[in-house]
Amino acid sequence: MTTNGSTAERSGVEVRLEDLERRYGTTTALDGLTLTLSPGELVALLGPSGCGKTTALRLLAGLEEADSGRVIIAGKDVTNVPANRRDIGMVFQAYSLFPHMTARQNVEFGLQLHDVDSAERRERAREVLDLVGLAAHANKFAHQMSGGQQQRVALARALAIRPKVLLLDEPLSALDAKVRSRLRDEIRRVQLEVGITTLFVTHDQEEALAIADRVGVMQAGRLEQLGPPTEIYSRPATPFVAEFVGLTNRMQGQVRGGSVEVLGARLPLVDPQVADGPAIALVRPEAVSVTSDGAAQSGPLVGTVIAVAFLGAVSRVTVDLDGTPVLAQMPTSAAADIPAGTRVRLTLRPDPVLIQREEATAVPA
């Protein structure tokens, strides 16, 4: 890697957000958020618009002030330290390169403010531009670069000052799908190479699950669940997390003795300590198997395929089960045998599921 010497020196710092609260008039954007980022860790905050994830990042950056709570970077309370003295690097959702400067000048801007001498400035600008693969574009202005290139220069600019923390505020949302996926991997590669503690804010679950060490799912200013991507996906702590991350089937069932009976199958519960009674089970599409043996023409788990969506290696099959659409995910090669109109039998894999109680009597979506 190109940042050779500097990388070894840096291993990231711990960042703590303690009981942060932020209100805008009567709206509570952050409601007692507590979050700790381990040194060198990449944590993604995921949630719908208005859940408070960007507010959390802006409070950490010092671009907004908290009503209460503390921000601690590397053991130092920086709650009242202005943004320009927090030693953070930030990449924004909107293109933020200074239009009157070239890529190199943009990168050198922060270094100038940190009193780095001219020769070292040039060297460090070359290093970080090389790190993001844009050394050849150093003399281009923002309007001469694509959106992806601009965001990479913005990343280089943020890293050039060797900040303690890197903050990424939906940096990929303005880019098209292909560039987004490539740059997402690039950000992760650079973050791992540099070893910097990083907070990444996004509303795109695929992005968050793909690159984060841990994902924090937020709703209404609160952290619903924080954990590794696999845990968030396979063992969601709340119905909101289950429904927000990945697709979920809502199936009516009956809780009895620590498990739930759905469509004739008995599934274990994530939380077995729930009272017996009717409930809605949240079942992932990949936990639903579809078979078409020709013999299954009737029964409680027999339905009709109404749509097959090709997603590449896998396909998503929608089955009409007595008026309730059920999503199933399967290899595309298998899905090719069950076109729309085929009668199929569903089988539920006994993965632990979450249940929702308050809407138990409602018709499943």
Interacting residue ranges for another protein, rule: CB under 8 A? 61-63, 82-86, 88-90, 92, 94-100, 109-110, 113-114, 141, 143, 154, 157-158, 161, 167
Task: Please enumerate in sequence order all residues whose Cβ is within 8 A of that of 327, keeping only pairs 6 or more positions apart, or say none.
Answer: 247, 249, 285, 288, 316, 317, 318, 319
Handedness of CA 141, 145, 149, 150 (dihedral sign): positive
- Minimum distance from residue 70 beta carbon to another protein (Å): 20
Residue among 93 and 181 whose Cβ is closer to another protein: 93
We find the least distance from the C-beta atom of residue 150 to another protein, in angstroms, to be: 12
When the beta carbons of 78 and 161 are compared against another protein, the nearer one is 161
Q: How far is the CB of 79 from another protein (least distance, A)?
A: 17
Give the start-end residues of each E strand in the chain: 15-24, 27-37, 42-46, 68-73, 76-77, 88-91, 165-169, 197-202, 214-219, 222-227, 249-256, 259-262, 265-268, 277-283, 288-291, 302-310, 314-321, 324-331, 343-348, 354-356
Whichever of 168 and 326 has its CB closer to another protein, that residue is 168
**Quick one: 74 or 296, whose CB is closer to another protein?**
74
Minimum gap (Å) between residue 54 Cβ and another protein: 12
Q: How far is the CB of 3 from another protein (least distance, A)?
A: 18
Scanning the chain, the segments in alpha helix (DSSP H) are 4-9, 53-61, 103-113, 118-131, 147-160, 177-194, 205-211, 229-234, 239-244, 332-335
Tokens matching residue 67: 């009503």
CB of 172 to another protein, least distance (A): 16
Residue 167 has a CB neighbour count (10 Å cut-off) of 25
Nearer to another protein, 183 or 335 (CB): 183
Q: Smaller CB distance to another protein: residue 89 or 236?
A: 89
Instruction: Name the one residue in this structure whose structure tokens are 């929608």.
Output: 318
Instruction: Kindly state the smallest distance separating residue 69's Cβ from another protein, in Å.
Output: 21
Q: Which whole-number Å values give the CA distances from 184 to 155, 174, 199, in the listed order? A: 12, 13, 14
Q: Which is nearer to another protein, 95 or 189 (CB)?
A: 95
